[in-house]
């Protein structure tokens, strides 16, 4: 399992201090494979920088193909009845491919603008990374080690009035994996399942929490939806290293896209949550997860993804396609 960098705790404390004191850097770069930490820091900074102010002074740009000159023009525009303008930029590719024009601007931006960049991949050699590193603050949000995750799980359960033994925590992480968004979902299930009871036991975890394979497939789907091919591929290779067969993985991915298509169609027909839960035979929070995923795809894209899964499965069974490559093709095709 990847280890967090030694700089992470110190930089996380720095961000928390900036928010507490209201003294902010001109730019922040939040990057790394752990989406939960990236999104958490992005949202904390956005809320603190706006300070309850009008969202009119918030601009959000996402995806490749962004025009740096347009963003710079917006940065130079005075905020409306506020101290600052906040610009959020996600998955731009600027930190992977470089952007000299923007990097130069970050060296001396307008005093009334703050940037928050959230990226899955960066190249530390590029001009953009060097510019933020010199004038702002960068934090790498990578997968956390088991000890850190254990403390986090214990703390979240304590906040809900629950207690859990170290042995049960270890069993829980072994069962659900290390993806923090998935862990948070499983904790929510445990809190609901144990209801008024204070102690969370290993038996509770065994009864209600999804096994590791299902958790990895959920994490892989998250990565595909985020267009994070690298993370999706790494999760796939982790499964292969643990001797999980490719046809089984392909079947589970196919199920994910089939359920996304179902909830997409029901949403378009304005079916309520109860109807969707009944049709899919899934609990509310899982249906909500699929609904969120489905929003990132058109109906046609989901149908095309399903067709690719079915065609690749048939090609493997008839010997026309290698089973490992069949899943790689699906991941690349759906996350491009």
The DSSP line for 46-59 is HHHHHTT--GGGEE
> b/e for 215-244, b at 16 or more Cβ within 10 A?
bbbbbbbbbbbbbbbebbbbbbeebeeeeb
Cβ atoms of residues 117 and 140 within 8 Å = no
**Quick one: 8-140 is in which CATH superfamily?**
P-loop containing nucleotide triphosphate hydrolases (3.40.50.300)
**Neighbour-count burial of 293, counting CB atoms closer than 10 A to its CB (0-12 exposed, 13-18 middle, 19+ buried):** buried
Q: Is the pTM of this model over 0.85?
A: no
Residue 25, φ and ψ in degrees, nearest 5: -75, 160
Looking at residues 302-328, what average pLDDT do you find?
Answer: 93
CATH number of the domain located at residue range(s) 146-210 in this protein: 1.10.8.60
CATH number of the domain located at residue range(s) 213-335 in this protein: 1.20.272.10
Looking at residues 18-38, what average pLDDT do you find?
Answer: 94
Instruction: Look at residue 5 and tell me whether its pLDDT is greater than 70.
Output: no
pLDDT digits (tens, 9 = 90+) for 253-266: 999 899 999 999 99
DSSP-assigned states of every residue in 57-110: GEEEEESSS--HHHHHHHHHSPPSSSS-EEEEEES-SHHHH--HHHHHHHHS--
Rounded Cα distance between 106 and 132, Å, is 7
Placement of tokens 């603050």 in the chain: 137
Looking at residues 140-155, what average pLDDT do you find?
Answer: 90
Task: Specify whether the backbone of 277 is left (phi greater than 0), alpha (psi in -120 to 50) or beta.
Answer: alpha
Domain borders along the chain are: 8-140, 146-210, 213-335
Residue 223, φ and ψ in degrees, nearest 5: -65, -40
Cβ atoms of residues 212 and 241 within 8 Å = no
Helix axes 212-225, 323-335, angle to 10 degrees: 40
Residue 2 pLDDT class (50, 70, 90 cuts): very low
The 10 Å Cβ neighbour count of residue 251 is 13
Residue 6 pLDDT class (50, 70, 90 cuts): low
Rounded Cα distance between 61 and 117, Å, is 10
Distant-in-sequence, close-in-space partners of 165: CB < 8 Å, separation ≥ 6: none
pLDDT score, position 336 = 78
Residue 208 pLDDT class (50, 70, 90 cuts): confident
Please count the residues of the chain: 336
Cβ atoms of residues 118 and 153 within 8 Å = no
Residue 289 pLDDT class (50, 70, 90 cuts): confident
Looking at residues 37-41, what average pLDDT do you find?
Answer: 95
Rounded Cα distance between 218 and 230, Å, is 15
Rounded Cα distance between 142 and 4, Å, is 5
């Amino acid at each position: 399992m990847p280890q967090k960098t030694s700089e992470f705790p110190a930089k996380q404390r720095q961000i928390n201090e900036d928010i507490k004191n209201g003294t902010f850097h001109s730019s922040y770069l939040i990057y790394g494979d752990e989406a939960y930490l990236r999104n958490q820091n992005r949202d904390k900074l956005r809320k603190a920088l706006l300070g309850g102010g009008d969202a009119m002074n918030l601009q959000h740009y996402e995806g490749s193909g962004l025009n740096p000159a347009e963003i710079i023009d917006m940065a130079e525009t005075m905020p409306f009845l506020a101290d600052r303008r906040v610009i959020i930029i996600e998955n731009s590719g600027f930190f992977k491919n470089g952007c000299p024009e923007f990097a130069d601007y970050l060296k001396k931006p307008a005093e009334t603008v703050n940037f928050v960049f959230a990226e899955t991949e960066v190249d530390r050699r590029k001009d953009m990374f060097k510019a933020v590193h010199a004038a702002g603050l960068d934090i790498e949000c990578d997968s956390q080690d088991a000890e850190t995750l254990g403390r986090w799980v214990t703390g979240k359960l304590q906040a809900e009035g629950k207690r859990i033994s170290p042995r049960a925590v270890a069993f829980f992480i072994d069962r659900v994996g290390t993806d923090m968004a998935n862990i948070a979902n499983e904790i929510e299930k445990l809190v609901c399942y144990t209801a008024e009871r204070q102690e969370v036991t290993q038996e509770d975890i065994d009864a209600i929490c999804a096994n590791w394979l299902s958790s990895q497939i959920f994490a892989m789907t998250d990565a595909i939806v985020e267009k994070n091919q690298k993370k999706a591929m790494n999760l796939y290779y982790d499964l292969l290293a643990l001797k999980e067969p490719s046809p089984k993985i392909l079947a589970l991915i196919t199920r994910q896209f089939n359920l996304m298509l179902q909830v997409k169609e029901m949403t378009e027909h304005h079916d309520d949550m109860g109807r969707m839960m009944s049709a899919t035979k899934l609990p509310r929070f899982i249906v909500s997860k699929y609904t969120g995923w489905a929003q990132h795809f058109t109906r046609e894209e989901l149908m095309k993804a399903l067709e690719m899964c079915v065609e690749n499965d048939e090609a493997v069974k008839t010997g026309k396609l290698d089973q490992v490559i069949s899943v790689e093709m699906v991941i690349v095709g759906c996350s491009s």
